[in-house]
Amino acid sequence: MVVPDNTKVAVTSPCRYDPDINRTYQDLAEHYGFAVLPARIKRPKDKAKVEAGVLIAERWILAALRNRTFFSIGEANAAITPLLQRLNEHPFKKLPGNRRASFERLDRPALKPLPTQRYEFAQWKKVGVNIDYHVEIDGHYYSAPYTLIHQELMARYTSRTVELFHKSRRVAAHSRSYTKGHHTTLEEHRPPAHREYLAWTPERILRWAGTIGPNCGEVAQRIMNSRSIPEHGFRPCQGLIRLGDSYGKQRVDQACRRALKLNIVGYKHIASMLKTGRDKIPLADDEPACPVITHDNVRGAQYYQ
């Protein structure tokens, strides 16, 4: 049993009867197999042995080193070691033996073996699941099941892993990433609609557009080529293909043929053609030559020569 002060690193919410232990400190206690029982507020006698031990260490060790300056932990440990050994071997005033002998006789036989694995420091944080089913930890975004959107989770993260808990049940686990602004997403966390969307590839989109007609396939190819990232052309191509459900494949392909001839390739232009029926007008009559306008305010090209 360990009896600490009510410092924040050990106790998050002090209470005489039911204190809240810091989650990281509780992890340490569970790993090494000890119980944490904080002292009562403003009751230093609850840990009298600790207070006495601090006083003895200050007198025998810190006071002896008060005028020295150390430039590394190793240097400080090397100076502390002989002073600590002298303290532990100093005879008790009212009891037989010393601290070293008492440790070997009483404490060592009662000690448990250390765990097979080292304790790995972990931090805990309350996180909210955003509408994109991700939570933020140190500038990186980790996915959680989409059914937990707008829910509050507890995140436990170490130097290597990130775990997410909902009502004490682990719902996600990720490898830790230190790349800020990026996302780590597990496929099973996505909504079904997102999974279906991500199953599409540029090649699959083009093959599907080709089933409408060769002109539709060519328009889809141009839409893909016009985007710096091919995936950005998925939605316009899907919209183009679905026009076939409303207007029929033949009309959509004819509208795509007209769009290619006029070099106005785009979902909105083709949808407008189909809506207004311009795809049914013969191509030669679709774009009549503009008449020459004669007016006093129109100077003409000769004026600027």
d(CA 55, CA 6): 19
- Tell me the pLDDT tens digit for each residue of 183-198: 898 988 988 876 666 6
Return the percentage of the chain with pLDDT > 90, whole number: 46
d(CA 273, CA 2): 79
pLDDT for residue 293: 67
d(CA 208, CA 237): 9
The answer to which of 75-79, 86-90, 172-176, 299-303 has the lowest mean pLDDT is: 299-303
41: pLDDT strictly greater than 90: no
pTM: 0.55
Nearest to 215 by CA among 245, 195, 240, 186: 240
d(CA 39, CA 276): 81
d(CA 186, CA 105): 54
- Tell me the pLDDT tens digit for each residue of 129-171: 988 889 999 999 999 999 998 999 999 999 999 999 999 899 9
289: pLDDT strictly greater than 50: no
81 or 291: which leads in pLDDT = 81
- Tell me the pLDDT tens digit for each residue of 187-246: 889 888 766 666 667 788 888 888 999 999 999 998 888 876 665 677 788 888 889 888
DSSP for 54-112 reads HHHHIIIIITTTTT---SSHHHHHHHHHHHHHHHHTSBPSSSSSBHHHHIIIIIGGGPP
